[in-house]
Chains A and B, each alone.
Chain A
Amino acid sequence: MRLLTKTTLYFLLAMIPLLVVGGYFLYKQYSTQINERADKELVYEEVQWIQYLEAATANGSNFLLQSPDLLIHPAQEEPTPYPTITNTNGLKARSNEEIPYRQLAHIVDINGVPYQIVIRKSQEQKLALVSNITYIMLLVFGGLFIATLLFNWMISNRLWRPFRASLQKVRNLELQKMEAVRFEETNTKEFNELNGALNTMVQKIQHDYLNMKEFTENAAHEMQTPLAIAQSKLELLLQDSQLNDTQVGSIAQATEALSRLSKLNQSLLLLAKIENNQFVATETINLTNVTQKYLRLFDEIIKDKQLQVHIQAEEDFTARLHPFLADSLVSNLLGNAIKYNEEGGKINIQVSRSSFCISNTSQQPALDAQHLFQRFQTPNKGTTHSTGLGLAIVKRIVDTSQLKITYQYAESMHRFCISQA
């Protein structure tokens, strides 16, 4: 629920008892006024009747008068000094409806005879008053409701504009593009506080991120030099004719391990660079062409493993990519399809306008699609000389190029498909 809807709702809920109380007081006020007026009329009428009675009974005759609203008759009781005025209910004339009456009762002494005078006045308008007030209150409530909705809509549009702008910025925040992000000053104190905090946060994140980035790159670079030293020393050592086969073998293994380390280092550096968006997509690349290039490059090993490569590409799959990333993408996927293939296995490449798929046979069972693209998730660690970064690089390239990649295992083939995201 929107914050504004919530406040409105609370506001309206609070309005209800206020309106009820207001309504009650209004009723009370009107009711008193109506009573007072009725009372005055009653008293005035009584006075008239008394005057009339005094004249009419001066000759000693008895007087009795009865109508729905008036009752005058001689009484046994003692006369009272003041009339009592009460509220009663009674039937409405010519109908069965019960309505409120204001009634005056007085026993007066008329020429020595006590007379009871009862006059009542219909207060039917009181009923109308209640319904009128309820009606007015409902009208007020409804008006308020509509007015608040309208105001809310307007306020929401205007007042919350800076908030929504900030929110949109936070949503679109990308680590690589944080430098340009700035939360503007507004004329609302709360939003200024929020934007201020966001600015500080963004600066801190960006600072940390740049540090990390710099660290990764520097670490990778710095590692290359000692690696170069160790590798060159081993290469020189290999030239020593005094060495026996075992020693030469050990040196070869050490060289191999060093080159793996170097490859790993370069892959990490590449990943960092892709993440840093250091490769800007400059052109639209046809992946079929890139694939053909790598098939030619890998021709030797394909022949050596007696792999059957089948390409089905009636249409071209194109993507906006940096050429280097396109190479990296295809060489990693194709390289894997070759590396993990079995002797005499198959590689199928299917290209359509919407997808680019490479599938291959392998001794490997189905891979865990969940962790496949994470770093260092190498199947059969130790048996292959994989850095465990190839698919992580592929994923990263795909993610930064508005593409997506899926993995399937069907009919004993591992299948990787790239399509537009």
Chain B
Amino acid sequence: MIDLSLPFRETGGIFTTMKLLIIEDEPALRESIQTYLEQQGFVCEAVADFKAGLQKVQQYDYDCVVVDINLPYGSGLDIVKELKAIEAKAGIIIISARASLEDKLTGLELGSDDYLTKPFHLSELSARIQAIIRRRNFGGSKTISFQEIRLEPDAQRVSIDSKPVDLTEKEYRLLEYFIANQRRVLTKAAIATHVWGDEYEQVSNYDFIYTHIKNLRKKLIDAGSEDYIKTVHGVGYRFTDH
């Protein structure tokens, strides 16, 4: 059976794996991203500089390109421009150490779909890549599923065995994030940042997450789902079926 939750693309009834390109010059960071995304089922290619990145995007099709701005031999922004110029269907995420609003706006104006500031959680990157691919995957499936759970992101609807489950907005975002990073250990900080935003760093106490997770877990179980949310003591949570 094909697990629909994994990043596969459906083309005329044939499922193909999602292909990503990572252009990042820091070897250690590049490897981390690649490893994490591969664990999530993506096929990842990774290059370290502008020239190699440009060559790759000109020669191959990708579902999503993750590109750093400061690269050897050129700027990642020019790769974004090139992708737009050749009308590539790939989604684009810029990852950069530059956090200023202007940098973000420049990136987004050039046609990037998202902008992540370093340092980021790999789980956040993974979730954003999947959201972009889903948005851009015009012909394909617009739903996410994990075993008996089925999510319709456009409508923010959740059903278990076709039976609707009523979730709050935050609970929905939690569940979506869990499924995007299924079987991975997620820290409370990563969860809080994703669901509640960076602002919560101001209060730097993530205990309130517990209540929401407890509620979500209860609603899912009550609706007939198995208990997939596992607590990783002192760290966070893992959404897993084994």
Chain A residues packing against B (C-beta within 8 Å) = 221-222, 224-225, 227-233, 235-236, 238-239, 245, 248-249, 251-252, 255-256, 258-259, 262-263, 266, 269, 273, 278, 294, 297-298, 300-301, 303-304, 324, 331-332, 334-336, 338-339, 384-386, 390
Contacts and interface: CB of A to CB of B under 8 A. Distances in A.
B52 interface: no
28 contacts: A225-B26, A225-B29, A227-B118, A228-B26, A228-B119, A228-B120, A232-B29, A232-B32, A232-B122, A233-B28, A235-B190, A238-B187, A238-B235, A245-B233, A248-B232, A248-B233, A248-B234, A248-B235, A252-B187, A255-B187, A278-B100, A294-B199, A297-B200, A300-B170, A304-B211, A332-B202, A334-B202, A385-B205
Q: Do most interface residues of chain A lie in helix, strand or loop, or is the interface mixed?
A: helix
A324 B102 CA distance: 12
Nearest to B210: A304
Contacts of A245: 233-234
Contacts of A224: 97, 99, 117-119
Range of interface residues on B (Cβ < 8 Å): 35 or more
- The CB with the most chain A CB atoms within 10 A, among B32, B98, B120, B205, is that of B32
Given A249-B234, A294-B199, A222 B119 contact: no
A225 to B, nearest CB: 5
Contact of A251 (B29, B100, B235): B235
Interface in B161-205: 170, 184-185, 187, 189-190, 196-197, 199-205
Interface stretch (B3-11, B33-41, B105-113, B149-157): B33-41
B119 A231 contact: yes
A339 B101 contact: no
- The CB with the most chain B CB atoms within 10 A, among A225, A249, A298, is that of A225
Given A228-B119, A228-B120, A297 B234 contact: no
Given A224-B97, A235-B121, A236-B35, A297 B199 contact: yes
Contacts of B199: 294, 297-298, 331, 335
Contact of B122 (A236, A252, A297): A236
A231 B120 CA distance: 8
A235 B189 CA distance: 12
A239 B196 CA distance: 23
A336 B185 CA distance: 30
Contact of B197 (A236, A266, A297, A339): A297
Contacts of A332: 202
A303 B215 CA distance: 15
A225 B202 contact: no
Contacts of B99: 224, 266, 269
B208 interface: yes
B123 interface: yes
A266 B99 CA distance: 8
Contact of A301 (B32, B119, B123, B200): B200
Contacts of A236: 32, 35-36, 122
Given A232-B119, A252-B235, A301 B189 contact: no
B87 interface: no
Contacts of B212: 300
A221 B68 CA distance: 13
Nearest to B123: A235
Given A224-B97, A229-B28, A249-B235, A239 B39 contact: yes
A221 B39 contact: no
- The CB with the most chain A CB atoms within 10 A, among B97, B123, B199, B203, is that of B203
A293 B184 CA distance: 33
A300 B208 CA distance: 7
Contact of A221 (B35, B98, B203): B98
A253 to B, nearest CB: 9
Given A256-B189, A304-B208, A335-B203, A228 B235 contact: no
A227 B118 CA distance: 8
Nearest to B97: A224
B36 A232 contact: yes
Interface in B12-31: 26, 28-29
A184 B24 CA distance: 50
Given A227-B118, A232-B122, A300-B196, A221 B97 contact: yes
Contacts of B204: 339, 384-386
A228 B203 contact: no
Interface string B72-100: 00000000000000000000000001111
A173 B101 CA distance: 29
Contacts of B118: 224-225, 227-228
Contacts of B170: 300
A217 to B, nearest CB: 9
Contact of B207 (A232, A304, A335): A304
B100 to A, nearest CB: 8
A270 B233 CA distance: 34
Contacts of B35: 236
